[in-house]
Chains A and B, each alone.
Chain A
């Protein structure tokens, strides 16, 4: 274990603090920078930060202990995080992690004695179509193999600066395998925004140049465009793409209609649901479309400030996203006077720091405000009292992209695709046991079978729809459709071939939820741990029917009493597995009698250590 010899110099911390306002909302962004430059958050930094922002040290420590990518102990010059989604495991990540640790002579989860490197697991990094994946110092590693691990170990051992690492290690592909009406053509920056502003204008107006049209002398009241665009959004029947499926127009209108001195537009790019990576692709290749959707939202609801909240796993996109924003400011698509209309709107980027729960609307807002990403009380809703307790629209990346398309092409056009309850097209992230993993755009209503046919995964025994919090479907259900009226989904399809043991999936998912639970409410905090303990007990061959009954009652308890969606949906996969893949549980249960999980001999280990004994008499 590495230990701090002397407190490091605080010059870098002071520099970071100077670049931030004395606003407690900046806390998380400051901590991220400190972690990046020191590879931990030293105690001395905690003091300075608390002092600068006038918050307590305990509050600062509260964040450091909450977010996975922050730490109070040194994580090494090179911090490696191996993505631990089930798809990574299926591609051999567990063995590769051990292999890398051996090559580096470091223990998993610890920092090497010389302070050079640490290797640990992290939740899905959003590269399931090109795994096994990992992160190293905020950059994304994909398609890992033993050869690549050798290379990485050499670069670390030779202390090669990250800038000199070969680019091929960091190649991230879009893998956009199928596009439909939304993403078939490139997006022209500004077109949707102009269409929104002119919406409702007559033929004469349409014949004018944009500058002339929005000039007061043209007679077109430009606020009218906002109202007309909202009507188009209603006509489109667009439902939120983040999974919950709430109607976007209702959210926008509610936000618009509440009297408040300020309101906000937040784009949720936390994308933490394992198996999901569409937001990564959208922000890589359709960032303009997303930002334009946010700008249109600002125009419609009367907001001047947009925030992109993005997970730190996508830090490698930082310069790209900043460049797109700069270009949009340059083109007057953002700024104090958007397109010369007097409308002011700009977008900031806020980074997450490793917390799945931050994808939850109200937890995300807490995080933007510089706190632990803990879901708020149920009422009031964020659209009424969100960021800084002001009305706030929080929509998914894909929702904003769709809103931009609707502003351009109209609501009826959008509603003409998809099904009765699920208008439009949807991006699906396909990964796992198939020939062509990647992004597929389909109109809502596509069957699972069709997706499997297209991606080359028809021999699958199961598909996990919408990630661990979603639904597990079996071969008999492949004709079910992906739409809010049947398989409601944020767009994730993880495919499991016939060779897979579905109990391994349960183990992976229960570990994920235990790790990502925020700890606020009893049923989720204790329930996710109990589920993991009981599943591991079954895995160890000590499970009995009594344990399965207990698993079932904990699942029910969590569904009914958990505070937020994380806890309410965390047991879904367990419930599904017990119904649909009971055989994979039963084959591990060697007895019908109860076996205690408690290992008496192992419990004596501490006593043996204290007494310095390890002889036969000191064992059972």
Chain B
């Protein structure tokens, strides 16, 4: 029996090794190939909702974050067509919310902004939605600014599975989908959330932010100011793998 590590698939013509049970996304990132993504954080269960990580597997589109790697399959990711679609998806996330990058504290640390840069999204091509969304600043330590929420669901998943609090849920549907907070008033202040929660630390955008931590790092020296998200993500992925392995 040959060891699992010998198995490979083709990604944009490159041989990618994978372990049994690994997703296309994980195998690609482990091999140093960046696949754009927003709702997925490799530390947590994938969600496959943002669809940026869509790749073409044997001619059919799949979200790579949930697609199991299979030996010999032909995967396309870095193609002009897919990158154009990723630009459009990122554009959609920008117009459906209210994103004001120049005035946002998350600027430079924001995965949405960094991904837009990485994909070369220079300006918006869709009409702006200008939705009315509630900002919840009731909590002493945490702000929930729904204007910037991209509905990735990370805070829900982490609060449920890691913090064991299930502070967040989604309500509404379609374009009116919105985050709700579990408390009698629906406000963060009387919920179980606390600044120690993992759930409030992994927001890819500026929807969940800590009070009292703003502008500690000057604009221009922030995470994605220093290196593009394409490199940062792969580096972070490797660091995680190393930590796991040993």
- A residues sitting closer than 8 Å to B (CB atoms) are 47, 56-59, 61-62, 64-66, 355, 372, 377-379, 514-523, 525-530, 533, 550, 553-554, 557, 560-563, 597-598
Contacts and interface: CB of A to CB of B under 8 A. Distances in A.
Contacts of B167: 58
Interface string B73-114: 000000000000100110011011000000000000000000
Given A56-B166, A58-B180, A518-B174, 19 more contacts: A58-B166, A58-B169, A58-B183, A514-B174, A515-B174, A516-B174, A519-B151, A519-B176, A522-B89, A522-B93, A527-B92, A529-B174, A530-B92, A550-B125, A561-B54, A561-B89, A562-B51, A563-B49, A563-B63
A467 B187 CA distance: 42
Nearest to A56: B182
Contacts of B174: 514-519, 525, 528-529
B127 interface: yes
Contacts of A557: 85, 88-89
Contacts of A47: 184
Nearest to B153: A520
Contacts of A522: 49-52, 89, 92-93, 150
B115 interface: no
Contacts of A66: 171-173
Interface in B30-67: 46-52, 54, 61-63, 66-67
Q: Is the interface of A mostly helix, strand, loop or mixed?
A: helix
Contacts of A554: 88
A560 B83 CA distance: 13
Nearest to B94: A526
B68 interface: yes
A237 to B, nearest CB: 25
B175 interface: yes
Nearest to A520: B49
B219 interface: no
A523 B49 contact: no
B29 to A, nearest CB: 19
A61 B54 CA distance: 31
Interface in B130-186: 150-151, 166-178, 180-184, 186
B89 to A, nearest CB: 5
A533 B127 contact: yes
A459 B221 CA distance: 69
Contact of B66 (A377, A520, A553): A377
Contact of A62 (B48, B52, B151, B180): B180
Nearest to B56: A560
Nearest to B178: A65
A521 B49 contact: yes
Residue of B92, B129, B175 contacting most chain A CB atoms (<10 Å): B175
B172 A525 contact: no
17 contacts: A58-B166, A58-B186, A61-B169, A62-B170, A377-B66, A379-B66, A514-B174, A514-B175, A519-B174, A522-B49, A522-B50, A522-B89, A525-B177, A526-B95, A526-B126, A561-B89, A598-B127
